[in-house]
Structure 1
């Protein structure tokens, strides 16, 4: 279609401020009939104009602006119980409870920040349709709304729109059913449903076979389902059993593993399951992480066909996973070697034998040890529930998620991708819903129907998923041990955002008793010191340089709790005026110290000036409060002084400030070089670096006993920070 010279702006990518303004205007018109001033031709012209604009510019240079409008509940009513209405019956800012609309997509979809297409109903009326929950660039199956698709939208939500008068907005994937227009099997399904055409069981099965060979698994599953239903009516059990088995293979290919298992077992009695069926169930059980069941079925497959190489390989994989589950023994060297830019999703089982989720007296549920755990021992090793392979450094982002419900802006594209992938994962894997939906979601009001199966799909509340993501996601590198390098390359500092559903139950403490590390999509949680059975496992949510006043505000604001850890409880006894003095002086020291970079040769006068300010800051910490606790505001001044003296080759002062740094991280015996992992010490890359600098300086001073004590502590710290001891000695010897 022709593009007019004055219309060169992509109207589908308007700013969030404008969207919010239109949204407010739309709310003021709630219940009104939408304006019909835009003709079908105008709506189509604008849609093709936007498609042309998107294709004509570099997508990489644009920022995706994903919008979460005012929250509303997904439909929980079966389609058969809803009343059909036309597009002309729709009202603004109305969710049309008890109703549904149908239509056909008459344009190719626009896919960038949102998926947008134009639908037309039986009367010829048209409307813009927005899928707000899905970014098709993250999918491998092509467009989710190809042209000539038939859609049914349950309890549609309508908003005002300047381009088309109004739009139907779908934010929950369970609110829309799609029969894809690029699928030949759809025409048969439509003839059967709309035209009431009689189709034989064999025709259904043949069309299912065709769709399966074309890798259109959802259509194959639907065709086999119709074949099964028709075959049952004709009492042809042999035919039905064959259709069940074919549907099982389609479900396995579509990664619908629970259904694949059920179909195989429906195709024949348990005692009559053959080698191929056993293999299929074994594969499905493996993907469902039911490794013991998987092993048993592969054993049966091998009993029937002992020389089956594929079955033997899968059997050995299941045995390896069972070993990991039971003992927590992982081949960490192999695990680390397998991680690459393209490969971060690893094939390993979870280990949680030494921990359990239970109630706490102060913060809902938490993680507790089930037996005595030694310092450095694994408490938990878990595969991510969802982890986008999208890592970014500190550079610009290409995605922003605007949440109109709380005014937040999520500017890390991995977090935006995580939200969208979580929505899709729950929709496509109903058996996983409970794992995610049990997590804390702040004050988001649940309906209680989330995850229920309606019309063959689970009810998915996208707003609830985002509320859960905000409270439970972790930032993670590809491999944590790389962050321990003194100057890691930019790509090794890049982070993604992910959810680990068991680790998410770990509550916060500013002086935690565990440390976490990441290897691909595996999180490894280890004890920092001896933990008796029944001890609550605590982690750290905020960076250790945060002042008390900052932490006091951030915890309720971000996670909905007031921290009652030993450090916060003690610091509450110090008046706000004292905290403010310390914070102001720490800010002053940072300003003074950053005037001259460490790489520049520092004058003695500059170093002594920072030393005097740091001593003044130290004196502002009340001994009665901080005698055995971290003094976090002193951390960065100590880091600067340690590095400044190291650059000047003043080894004695390097030792002094390295040990001061350890003391300010809570290792109160560090000054006597009697370093132990003790309650209150913070294990992180900075304390690890302090040990290495101290060891280096001790060696230069000829104090080898001091060097060895620091190196011994660094070796133990390495295991916690890196998740394992792989490459430890080489790393410490390299001086990286």
Structure 2
């Protein structure tokens, strides 16, 4: 019975859940009251269910999973890698996926957490390469090599308590600055190509990457994501993308804001806002309707955010106008008609500031007594927050709890 139990533990850690289930079932047949066997059988059945449904308890996992190996199974059945017509391999949906649903969740082949206080600098230069890797990249390179050694030489390997521990054990304590320099390698997800008009957003929980649909995805549609954040300047995006060895589906137009004024601290705030609005009008004119109709206009995001904040205390209507402008600049079309809220995401780029502005719009609507609209906007904001963050923890801390109302005022 002990041999079966150990075989089940080994199979579980190798993600061979069917073999683990068979071993634990045999354990419980020998002793139906074995506590360890029953516990591990239940845990294995939960992983098998996750492989089929992708339903995981992210709220319970996320906050504690910084820099850890999470105890969840891969959920890959909705996607498969195929050849594209124009840009090599890609990942495609094998079934329709609704907005906000999990596209895939995958545990890392190799995962290197960031040390709390780096004590050494590692540099690896492979003999056949012309350049080296350093830091967590070199540690991950070593981890991948170790995995291959284990795979092809199953007779033994160097023991490391962190790497061989069972269950949901933390690998390392995160640094005090909360900057996670962890690095991982995800094989299935690596087939996903970049698009500036992407349809899936990724987030991380421990060593697991989660992709959620930012809009409805049709069967056989290619899954794409954004490699750099929406607000990254053009030079950063243009420099970083080629180094990844991946191809871009849509080249963003280069916006050079050389006329941005240097503002003196003594200038009146109202004057500064007026200068921002004047500059916004000039930037807006550079976006041709012929080419940018219903597309994101990234050059309008930051200044509209500043203006929305500046007007938030003394001019709610102007604040609302700029909040809508921020949302529109990301490619969304938000329409509020009476108590109905509609959001067109066809060519949208999801970002945290969209969630912020949806909540700002909801607060303005709340001040007007439009509680039905407030509820819908909050639901949209929460959905987007989960897509970006992977799970809902922290939403109420950032935006507060929903207020209950017995009736809706006109």
Same fold (TM over 0.5): yes
Report SS of the residue matched to 1:532: coil
RMSD of aligned residue pairs (Cα, Å): 3.5
CA drift of 1:304 comes to 1.7
In structure 2, C-alpha distance between the alignment counterparts of 1:544 and 1:397, rounded to whole Å: 34
1:417 maps to which of 127, 139, 156: 139
In structure 2, C-alpha distance between the alignment counterparts of 1:522 and 1:623, rounded to whole Å: 41
Higher relative CO (Cα under 8 Å, sequence separation at least 6) belongs to: 2
1:510 aligns to 2:196 (yes or no): yes
- The within-5 A match list for 1:343-422 is 344-390=68-114, 399=121, 401=123, 413-422=135-144
Number of the residue aligned with 2:151: 430
Report SS of the residue matched to 1:387: strand
Alignment gaps of 5+ in structure 1 = 1-274, 432-452, 459-477, 480-488, 572-578
Report SS of the residue matched to 2:343: coil
2:182 maps to which of 490, 493, 496: 496
CA drift of 1:497 comes to 2.0
Number of the residue aligned with 1:323: 49
Alignment gaps of 5+ in structure 2 = 158-172, 403-410
1:558 aligns to 2:243 (yes or no): yes
C-alpha offsets along residues 412-457 of structure 1, whole Å, 9 cap, x if unaligned? x433433333333333x226xxxxxxxxxxxxxxxxxxxxx7x979
CA drift of 1:699 comes to 3.0
Assess if the C-alpha contact under 8 Å between 2:63 and 2:393 holds in 1.
no
C-alpha offsets along residues 373-406 of structure 1, whole Å, 9 cap, x if unaligned? 11111110112222222167xx999636486955
- The within-5 A match list for 1:441-520 is 491-520=177-206
- The structure-2 alpha-carbon separation of the partners of 1:398 and 1:679, relative to structure 1 and needing over 3 Å to count, comes to farther
- The structure-2 alpha-carbon separation of the partners of 1:623 and 1:398, relative to structure 1 and needing over 3 Å to count, comes to farther
2:225 maps to which of 539, 546, 549: 539
In structure 1, C-alpha distance between the alignment counterparts of 2:278 and 2:115, rounded to whole Å: 41
Assess if the C-alpha contact under 8 Å between 2:8 and 2:20 holds in 1.
yes
Report SS of the residue matched to 1:371: coil
- The structure-2 alpha-carbon separation of the partners of 1:281 and 1:733, relative to structure 1 and needing over 3 Å to count, comes to same
Number of the residue aligned with 1:623: 289
Assess if the C-alpha contact under 8 Å between 1:651 and 1:701 holds in 2.
no
Number of the residue aligned with 1:656: 321
TM-score, structure 2 normalization: 0.81
Q: Give 1 or 2 for the bigger CA radius of gyration.
A: 1
1:639 aligns to 2:283 (yes or no): no
In structure 1, C-alpha distance between the alignment counterparts of 2:63 and 2:238, rounded to whole Å: 41
In structure 2, C-alpha distance between the alignment counterparts of 1:314 and 1:562, rounded to whole Å: 43
Number of the residue aligned with 1:284: 10
CA drift of 1:727 comes to 6.1
**Larger CA deviation: 707-716 vs 350-359:** 707-716
C-alpha offsets along residues 41-98 of structure 1, whole Å, 9 cap, x if unaligned? xxxxxxxxxxxxxxxxxxxxxxxxxxxxxxxxxxxxxxxxxxxxxxxxxxxxxxxxxx
Number of the residue aligned with 1:140: none
In structure 2, C-alpha distance between the alignment counterparts of 1:666 and 1:490, rounded to whole Å: 36
In structure 1, C-alpha distance between the alignment counterparts of 2:183 and 2:318, rounded to whole Å: 40
In structure 1, C-alpha distance between the alignment counterparts of 2:182 and 2:359, rounded to whole Å: 28
1:685 aligns to 2:406 (yes or no): no
Task: Please state which structure has a larger fraction of its residues in helix.
Answer: 1
